[in-house]
Structure 1
Amino acid sequence: MVRQWIVIGTGWALAALTSGCLVSVDGNPVSAEPTGEMVFNWTVDNSTSPRECATYATPGSSLDLEFVLLDDRGNTVTVEYADCESFSLSLVISAEQYYHAEVTMVDAADHSMAKSTTETLSSIWVEPETTVDLSVNFPPSSML
């Protein structure tokens, strides 16, 4: 009976070691790959005034920022939306690779309705455990 429990216990230990999972004893999650943070800030007509967002919103609606992050092969990593009036978006992403981003102001009620031209940010490199700060201004000429 004891031998059977030793065999079962050994099997569980081996399964845990080969599963690729990492466990933290202090309660903090452990990532298997290095990550970094990307902070994206924007302005509308060089301003962070909520009035600028309202100026270009569809009557009865508001503006959202659409942030599309792509890897170096053009594959979509994530699509995020933020209220225009927040003027900032933060993401934790895999580090040590190149990205590019496409950002567009869209109607908050209908994300398929672009309210600005799309701005592209290229060659974004993220180092492990660092923060990359990015920013874009949406001038009046970019608003639709």
Structure 2
Amino acid sequence: MMTGDERITFGSAYVKGLNLASDMNEISKEIGYCPQFDALLDDLTGRETLKIFCLLRGIRKERINYISEELAKSFGLMKHLDKETRAYSGGNKRKLSTAIAVIGSPSVIYLDEPTTGMDPAAKTSVMEYDLSLYVTQENP
């Protein structure tokens, strides 16, 4: 319900004053989502995947390479960035899915078991990730 995948049957929920029942199109711009099961396209590289999601989030084209590499560094994916996601381990798929969720510094981020399959150091890295350090589309 909170992500718009299911219809709200009872109660109300709001994001930045917008009602999920009536304003989901507007709210979806404010939400980052990492589903329990990775929704990655096997034929794309990590870099291509991040680029697509940056474009969907409205990141300026001249910032996409920088942001993609910063996310890859932050989530320990740099050496895998140009590999097709089909070759990623389960933990690296989770890292990429989590990185996608933070693109554009959304107001709300839903993470469903983001660290499943990750090694202990990667789990710590994800849990200590500081969104305030993230470079948004407005920043130089």
TM-score by length of 1: 0.25
| Greater fraction of residues in helix | 2
TM-score by length of 2: 0.26
Q: Which has the larger radius of gyration?
A: 1
| Greater fraction of residues in strand | 1
